[in-house]
Amino acid sequence: VLSMSLLVCVKLVKSPLYCICIHSHPFSFTDYLSRIITSHSAHACDGQPLRLHCPRHSTISIQSAFYGSGEVQLCRADPDPPLRAHNHSCSAFTAVHLVSKSCYSKQNCAVLVSNQTFRDPCFPGTRKYLSVIYSCERKGVYGWEEVTYVSEAAERAERIERREMIMQEIWMNAYLNGSSC
């Protein structure tokens, strides 16, 4: 039985370079890609903790967060809500910042959903919730910076080479057209 290892790197738009070493496990690369590409969502109601979790060797990256009351009622309505308070949309503009601050670069985190955490953006008595969309990004591992550096250097060299080829092509076209310097 042959043991095979393969280093595979993926560059997503507006994302850092991700690399993985595959040691003869046919599903590990697919699993890895699904972990870094897939966004996760979680929500919790007032008074509950919102728990976020990423797999081993990855950390939480918050993409969006909403704290307030929206058109969709995710939480059970209060038995005696104030008049029409539950029909109004309201949100805390600091939700993304506060959740990111609590969870940035952690594998697991919990945020208490409450007015004390986010300040109450709604009419008194409105039932609110926290809804978060996040992804799990691969943690830096030994040699990660070197791989990124080598990749960036290779990309730069490729750009320079392409530019030189374009310059050479322009020069050749100018020469063939008889407009040499």
- Is 11 in the same domain as 67? no
- Is 32 in the same domain as 60? no
Counting beta carbons within 10 angstroms of the beta carbon of residue 178, is it exposed (0 to 12), middle (13 to 18) or buried (19 or more)?
A: exposed
C-alpha to C-alpha distance for 127 and 73, rounded to whole angstroms: 9
Rounded to 5 degrees, φ, ψ at 140 are -65, 135
Tokens of 68: 């307030």
Distance set, CA 86 to CA 12, 47, 125 (Å) = 41, 17, 8
pLDDT per residue over 95-144, tens digit each?
999 999 999 889 999 999 999 999 888 988 888 999 999 988 887 654 44
On whether the pTM is more than 0.75, the answer is no
Residue 180: inside a domain: no
The confidence score (pLDDT) of residue 33 equals 55
Residue 170: inside a domain: no
The tally of CA atoms less than 13 A away on the side-chain side of residue 114 is 8
Residue 124: inside a domain: yes
The confidence score (pLDDT) of residue 144 equals 47
- Is 16 in the same domain as 93? no
Residue 111: inside a domain: yes
- Is 11 in the same domain as 99? no
Tokens of 81: 């809500």
Give the chain's residues under pLDDT 70.
Answer: 1-37, 71-73, 76-88, 140-158, 164-165, 167-169, 171-181
**Which segments within the chain are labelled E, that is strand?**
5-11, 17-23, 39-45, 49-53, 58-69, 90-91, 108-112, 129-138
Q: How many domains does the chain have?
A: 2
Query: Pairing between strand 17-23 and 108-112?
Result: unpaired
Q: Within a 10 A sphere around the Cβ of 157, how many other Cβ atoms?
A: 10
- Is 20 in the same domain as 45? no
- Is 55 in the same domain as 135? yes
- Is 53 in the same domain as 122? yes
Residue 154: inside a domain: no
- Is 3 in the same domain as 66? no
Range of the domain at 21: 1-37
- Is 28 in the same domain as 68? no
CATH of the domain at 117: 2.60.120.740
Q: Within a 10 A sphere around the Cβ of 107, how many other Cβ atoms?
A: 16
The confidence score (pLDDT) of residue 67 equals 93
Residue 164: inside a domain: no
- Is 32 in the same domain as 111? no
**Which segments within 125-173 are labelled E, that is strand?**
129-138
Residue 155: inside a domain: no
Residue 63: inside a domain: yes
- Is 121 in the same domain as 135? yes
- Is 64 in the same domain as 90? yes
DSSP string of 31-63, one letter each residue: HHHHHHH-EEEEEEETTSEEEEE--TTEEEEEE
DSSP-assigned beta bridge partners for residue 40 = 134
